[in-house]
Amino acid sequence: MTPPRNQHHLATPSGRPRARAFLAFDGEPGPCNAITDVAGVSVGYTTLVEGDGALVVGKGPIRTGVTAILPRPRDDLATPCFAGIFSQNGNGELTGTHIVEETGAFDFPITITNTHSCGVTRDATLRWMHKVLPGALEGAWGLPVAAETYDGFLNDINGHHVTDAHVFAALEKASTGRIEEGSVGGGTGMIAFGFKGGSGTASRRVRHGATDWTVGVFVQANFGDLKNFSMRGRHVGEDLRPLLVEAKASIEKGSIIAIVATDAPFLPHQMKRLARRVPLGIALTGGFGYHSSGDIFLAFSTANRPALTAAKGSVAQADFIPDAAIDPFFDAVVQSVEEAILNAMIANEDMRGRDGHFVPALPKAWLTREFFRPE
């Protein structure tokens, strides 16, 4: 007997369809098919949608927001995580990269927003951390990870509408379990392959030895040329082009940020290796790292906490899965990235923004007709 499909894999908490409602994917997802399947990782959003009509800088229309990803439980956010970063195409920003390269670790929450609000979310994260864990910044410094992609086609990006309060709200609302996708948080005003993009997530379970580990991915998808767009190995861009008659979204300012999380024990050089596999998942959807696309990726592990909190003067010990056994985790990253991007696009709706600019969502009727295949 075929087991029933996991409804959490098919729809977001608000009922929007996810990619698995239409498509079959490789690999075994976690319970929520989300980055939050990695124990201790939580995600929060603040979504800002206000106004219509002609752009008035400072007033709107507003189509933006902020996403917060907490790599550890709130009380443990000052504990570093082993991490690695990779920039496929550096026409973008992810702060804190230098210390990750130098020490192989980072701490504090991650934020993702629009290009002109990246500094706001970084600084607000420090203010929030000083409030909730004041001891973490006493006599020390913080270098939070903050990332961005451009939403100026739909949003009054020069109006600087994201404030400290919006960042605090996203951080406070961060939760485990199922999360929304599509035009939420930092992904609110984003575009992918000419269609509505935004926030997407997916996960995979990986067996190593006698243990099941989890790899989770979160993307802010704002990239891609329609002519290259592919879904599960099928080039669909030209099929979809007639559906973009009204849309005039530029691809020249697109980017994608990806955050990879795992509970598997890996060392920093291995986390960098996982981050380097993100572009392979992007390529499966037709993203080729064009000139103006900021394609920047962070991978982290929640394992090895004792090694990362060892006292000065001690000798720390860390567990790690051997490099020779890492290939299934590469598979998990590639599979999760591909699905997270398609989730960001499919769990979405049409959006009209500044100056009447219009971006359609992938049509559900077209998806049903062309791809619907029950698992």
CATH of the domain at 349: 3.60.70.12
Does 183 participate in catalysis according to the annotation? no
Does 293 participate in catalysis according to the annotation? yes
Active-site choice (183, 199, 293, 336):
293
CA angle 196, 199, 143 (to 5 degrees): 135
Q: Is the peptide bond before 61 cis (omega within 30 degrees of 0)?
A: yes
**C-alpha to C-alpha distance for 261 and 180, rounded to whole angstroms:** 18
Q: How many domains does the chain have?
A: 1
Does 117 participate in catalysis according to the annotation? no
* Residue 168 covered by a domain: yes
Residues of the chain with pLDDT under 70: 1-4, 245-253, 372-375
pLDDT digits (tens, 9 = 90+) for 11-63: 999 999 999 999 999 999 999 999 999 999 999 999 999 999 999 999 999 99
* Residue 7 covered by a domain: no
- What's the gap between Cα 276 and its chain centre? 15
Residue 82's nearest CA partner among 215, 260, 267 is 267
Residue 146, pLDDT score: 98
Active-site choice (255, 263, 301, 336):
255
Strands 81-90 and 294-301, sheet pairing: antiparallel
Report the SS3 class of residue 123. helix
* Residue 3 covered by a domain: no
**C-alpha to C-alpha distance for 29 and 338, rounded to whole angstroms:** 13
Which residues span the domain enclosing 268? 25-309+318-356
* Residue 349 covered by a domain: yes
* Residue 295 covered by a domain: yes
* Residue 172 covered by a domain: yes
Residue 1, pLDDT score: 36
Active-site choice (156, 295, 301, 336):
295
Predicted TM-score of the model (pTM): 0.96
**C-alpha to C-alpha distance for 38 and 72, rounded to whole angstroms:** 10
* Residue 13 covered by a domain: no
Residue 320 DSSP one-character state: -
